Amino acid sequence: METEATAENSGVLDETGLGAEVRSAVGRLYRRFRSELPAGELGDTALEVLTYLHKRGPRTLTELSEAGRVAPASMSQTLNRLTSAGYAIRTPDPNDRRKVLFRTTTEGATLARATRSQRNAWLDAQLAALSPEDQRTVARACELLGAIADS
């Protein structure tokens, strides 16, 4: 009871609850973060797939669909955009010639790095504007949210 009263008095909880507050803040931050896109013809979904390929290396359509939690048909459309734009290529799987792997091209890797750098620069600037105490609070919140995500 005392924990609830303390949380309510600090303004953390309202009638919607802490879970709703966290979901709202994370959702708003994610949407804001997504708006930090480099100029170009690719949308955020294609950039996310490109970044995933850049970070994780070659993947199959099925692996990418599962990672993105989308239908293979949707992922296929995204991959078609990436390959036709020259940011990704299809290669045979060396372990199973029946499968196709997708990987980034040099241009795709460059775009993935630029996108990550631009988004990180925006977020770093926002975090740098916080007081040291608030920065420590954000760091602790990241630890806790990471533990929740990994549970």
Span 73-92, pLDDT tens digits: 999 999 999 999 999 999 99
**pLDDT at position 83:** 97
Domain boundaries, position 60? 30-150
2-50 tens-digit pLDDT: 444 444 445 555 556 899 999 999 999 888 877 777 666 788 889 999 9
- In this structure, the chain runs to a length of 151
Q: Are 48 and 86 in contact (CB under 8 A)?
A: no
Does the residue 110 lie in any domain?
Answer: yes
Does the residue 25 lie in any domain?
Answer: no
Confidence check: pLDDT of 106 > 50: yes
**pLDDT at position 12:** 55
The residue behind tokens 């390929």 is: 53
**Total-model pTM:** 0.72
Confidence check: pLDDT of 57 > 60: yes
Does the residue 3 lie in any domain?
Answer: no
**pLDDT at position 9:** 47
Q: Which two tokens stand for residue 102?
A: 């997708």
**pLDDT at position 15:** 59
Does the residue 8 lie in any domain?
Answer: no
CATH number of 59's domain: 1.10.10.10
**pLDDT at position 13:** 57
pLDDT > 70: percent of the chain: 86
pLDDT > 90: percent of the chain: 65
Number of domains in the chain: 1
Please name every residue paired with 14 in a beta bridge, in sequence order, or none if there are none. none
61-75 tens-digit pLDDT: 999 999 999 999 999
What integer best gives the mean pLDDT of the chain? 87
**pLDDT at position 44:** 84
Q: Are 88 and 108 in contact (CB under 8 A)?
A: yes
Does the residue 6 lie in any domain?
Answer: no
Does the residue 37 lie in any domain?
Answer: yes
Please name every residue paired with 93 in a beta bridge, in sequence order, or none if there are none. 96
Does the residue 82 lie in any domain?
Answer: yes
Q: How many CB atoms lie within 10 A of CB 131?
A: 8
Does the residue 36 lie in any domain?
Answer: yes
